[in-house]
A and B are shown apart, each in its own frame.
Chain A
């Protein structure tokens, strides 16, 4: 379990996270959403111990990430937004990295690479951004770490790869695992998420499970503005709206709409 308490962080004079507290539990896929510069990548770096907290604490299974202890590092894996990769073949890189992760599944890695249509003998430097992303995602999922942090994982992926990615992440989930996905392309991960967290520069605007959101709000597309709507946006099929859920029926969450609504009332 990841416990973040009163976390604040600033680069030089610019404060990006201010007094944030939250918990990331096991067996769930979290969506970390927010405008550019609110600190999503910073949050990942803090969770991995790549940055040191200025105020507040982070504990992952009772361990502080900043210590970068081997026992802690073997439980996590982080895929940054712009993964460049070393000047070596995917097979050699994976062979080297995977020996530090006790749950690595080589057969799964081979299968994921083949589903992503990536040749393991190719060098990272000879691949496009999308191909590099697919290769590192295949490795990330095969390492079977307890915590997986994906920063803009679908950025650079083509449409078939995005569908493959969703399928693979869903298949990779188990009761022990926590996956946190940060993305602006919310439609790519809409059906994957169990929990949505919307960050602002100074606060967590929303930190709720998908089922909580569904029981509180109704998402609808109507030809006219519905009565009592909390937020409305014009869409292709009519008016996209958010209303209070008074019927108890669950509707499919429109994350983009939810994001805009939450930001409009902050």
Chain B
């Protein structure tokens, strides 16, 4: 028996996870679709036309997919209930891959389908205009996210995956109050990094920053706007890939080594 990766066993695990965990999440999807209906009703009751629903849908979409690991894989490191996950006869690599596919692909597609369906039903039942979301998203599902940034679809996808993989990692690290701890950890990390940056700026001479500003100006003069954007996108892609690799690696070792 191949103890690292077996395609047949991975397939069984993936189906097992979809059957066992996703019904729980589908209940959540209904709640999120309910939020959209509530937002629509509120908008109608105060005389709004709600012709542009992309904002509501974007926020709900992001909440739904980024929080999904905390609900679907909530018990994987629970001291009492997590043992059943740990004892599934599949390798850590298979478990991680299945978790990644469920979190990166299955859940976003399911959320997208649920919200689009709700939006289409709302449109059909009401006299509101078609609006931007339903009309555009049927051709380009990512336009709603990318038009403000001018970023390529691949980068947007990677940024989404990086955020999801971070959620997957924190879900595997924290045993209880996972979402609150994730928020607090990120706030603390952000605060400490800001503090560090401020301290560094204060410790550095003004001459250094003047030189730096000069170099940046020279840089922008040397390259066209498109070239600068391309460089930014390349750096962003590399950054997202790094985040995905690091967070998934930490999740792998956490799944492998967690004690119950």
Interface of A toward B, CB cutoff 8 Å: 45, 48-52, 68-71, 73-74, 76-78, 80, 82, 84, 86-88, 92-93, 96-97, 99-101
Contacts of B256 in A (CB 8 A): 68
Shortest CB–CB separation between residue B256 and chain A, in angstroms? 7
A50 touches B83 (CB 8 A): yes
* Nearest B residue to A50, CB-CB: B260
Whether A74 contacts B89 in the complex (CB less than 8 A), given A48-B83, A52-B257, comes out as yes
Complex CA–CA separation, A48 to B257 (angstroms): 13
Whether A71 contacts B81 in the complex (CB less than 8 A), given A78-B87, A86-B20, A99-B12, comes out as no
User: Which residues, 1 to 28 on B, are CB-close (under 8 Å) to A?
Assistant: 1, 3, 6, 9, 12, 15-16, 19-20, 23-24
Whether A80 contacts B83 in the complex (CB less than 8 A), given A69-B3, A70-B3, A99-B16, comes out as yes
Complex CA–CA separation, A101 to B12 (angstroms): 11
Q: How many residues on the B side are at the interface (Cβ–Cβ under 8 A)?
A: 27
A82 touches B3 (CB 8 A): no
Contacts of A76 in B (CB 8 A): 87
Whether A92 contacts B6 in the complex (CB less than 8 A), given A50-B83, A73-B88, A100-B12, comes out as no
Whether, in the assembled complex, B98 has its beta carbon less than 8 Å from a beta carbon of chain A, the answer is: no
Contacts of A51 in B (CB 8 A): 259-260
Offer 22 A-B interface pairs, CB within 8 angstroms, sorted by A. Answer: A45-B83, A50-B83, A50-B86, A50-B87, A51-B259, A52-B259, A68-B86, A69-B3, A70-B1, A70-B89, A71-B1, A71-B89, A73-B89, A74-B89, A76-B87, A88-B23, A92-B19, A93-B20, A96-B16, A97-B88, A100-B12, A101-B89
Complex CA–CA separation, A52 to B80 (angstroms): 16
A100 touches B88 (CB 8 A): yes
**Which of these, B9, B81, B84, contacts A70 with CB under 8 Å?**
B9
Where chain A touches its partner, the secondary structure class is loop
B20 touches A96 (CB 8 A): yes
Complex CA–CA separation, A70 to B260 (angstroms): 18
B75-111, CB under 8 A of A: which get 1 and which 0? 0000011011011111110100000000000000000
B92 touches A68 (CB 8 A): yes
* Nearest A residue to B258, CB-CB: A50
Of A68, A76, A80, A93, chain B has the most CB atoms within 10 Å of the CB of A68
5 residue pairs, one from A and one from B, having the closest CB atoms = A73-B89, A74-B89, A71-B1, A100-B89, A69-B3
Given A71-B3, A96-B19, A99-B16, 10 further pairs, Cβ under 8 A: A45-B83, A50-B83, A52-B259, A68-B87, A70-B89, A71-B1, A74-B1, A78-B83, A84-B80, A92-B20
